[in-house]
Amino acid sequence: MDIFVSKGERDHEVRIRLPAAPDMIWPMLTELDRCSVSGGPARITGTSLFLNLAQYISGADLEEEADIRRLNVLAGMMDGMSVKDQQLLSGALDAESVNGLDDVLRIASSLGQYEFIEGVATDKELGGWLVEHGKAGVDFPKEVWPYLDYAGIGRSYYADHGGAYTSSGYVKRREVIQTQEAAKQPNFALTLASPASTRRLNLPATDDDLERAKRALRLDDLGSAVIKNVEIDYPWAHLLDMDSITLQDAHILAKCVQEMTAQELRVFGAVLEAEQPNSFSDANLTAMYLDDYELVEDSEREYGREALRKAGADDEILDMLDGFTDFDALGRSEMEADGVRETSFGHVRRLSAPWPEQGPEIGQTMC
């Protein structure tokens, strides 16, 4: 691989064949200093391979041995690539967030994570390929193919899957096959919209997911996107204040929910029903401090017997008291003292500070 190095636009340029030792490169940089009219550091302005590689390695410091070593590794990888793999790398670099040589090397060494659809370089061509290969999400009869909006089909797919068009074809990450456990996990997703496009974003999202969403929506900050739709397929979703939802708050809650056990998800639903948080952000606080709550026995009798166990009574004593003790009345009394609340998810209590005793419901009359 050859790189072209210059100090400024239309300035003197040197060509360096890689891999090369630092003591072979540095004299060429000295010659560049002598012949250049521009000041500043030497920068990579082009390569002998494909056009966009230079922009991703232009920040390499050719006076640093560490960066020269990285460039030599990359050159060795490139020399062993087929033309098709080079085209794949070109698209993968455009599709991902690249912040230096380390990212370039990471992507170059993991080309198996990407797929290349040759000859597809526009939304219309992508839409046609998807329909022809049955990948459009709808099995269109061949009779309607001449009337389809292929550009719209391709544009929608691109918005959902990201990737990049190159002069040779379309590159995107391969679909990740969900494990059975992940497939069973309920949806937690937002549909974001901008003047340019719409995109469905599964939460919690990785940094790469967020970068791809920004590129698809053509936004510098996803916080400015409009939330068009919310999918939270949990039985307590209706208890969340959707009017106050933000992408950041939704991401935080999705992260918390992902780490919850089935029992904790039930506790969370009970607490939402009991606490009735005023905002989505308050619901996040509830999720973060879920250890402060627990589900308790629904039976007043069992709650009364459990209270006696905590006071030191063993099963033998409880059996002796059975028939002579109103365990139901004791249970009701203990539940009131502990601030236990009844919800559709079960009876729940707060450990740090019991909820106050609930007064009569509206419409009830005190005698």
What is the mean pLDDT of the segment spanning 284-298?
A: 84
Is 8 a residue whose pLDDT tops 90? no
- 311, 312, 316, 321 alpha-carbon torsion, rounded to 10°: -30
Give me the pLDDT at residue 328, please.
Answer: 67
Give me the pLDDT at residue 45, please.
Answer: 86
Return the residue matching tokens 């609930």. Answer: 358
What is the mean pLDDT of the segment spanning 227-256?
A: 91
* Residue-wise pLDDT tens digits, 125-176: 999 999 999 988 888 888 999 999 999 999 999 988 888 998 889 999 886 5
* Tokens read off for 283: 């619901």
* Contacting residues for 166 by C-beta, under 8 A, at least 6 apart: 87, 90, 91, 94, 121
Return the residue matching tokens 């698209």. Answer: 91
* Residue-wise pLDDT tens digits, 211-235: 888 888 889 899 899 998 898 989 9
Estimate to the nearest angstrom the gap between the alpha carbon of 149 and the chain centroid: 30
What is the mean pLDDT of the segment spanning 92-120?
A: 86
Give me the pLDDT at residue 183, please.
Answer: 45
Q: Is 360 exposed, middle or buried, given 0-12, 13-18 or 19+ CB atoms closer than 10 A?
A: exposed
Check: CB of residue 115 under 8 Å from CB of residue 109.
no
Instruction: For the chain, give every domain's residue range.
Output: 2-80, 114-173, 190-229, 243-367
14-18, 23-27, 36-40, 56-60: least confidently modelled range: 36-40
Is 265 a residue whose pLDDT tops 80? yes
Long-range contacts of 308-316 (CB under 8 A, 24+ apart): none
Strands 169-173 and 164-165, by their bridges, are antiparallel
Q: Residue 9 and residue 13: Cα distance in Å, rounded? A: 9
Q: Residue 123 and residue 102: Cα distance in Å, rounded? A: 31
Distances, alpha carbon 291 to alpha carbons 260, 278, 287, in Å: 11, 20, 9
More confident residue, 320 or 57: 57
Check: CB of residue 188 under 8 Å from CB of residue 231.
yes
CATH topology of domain 114-173: Arc Repressor Mutant, subunit A (1.10.10)
More confident residue, 86 or 36: 86
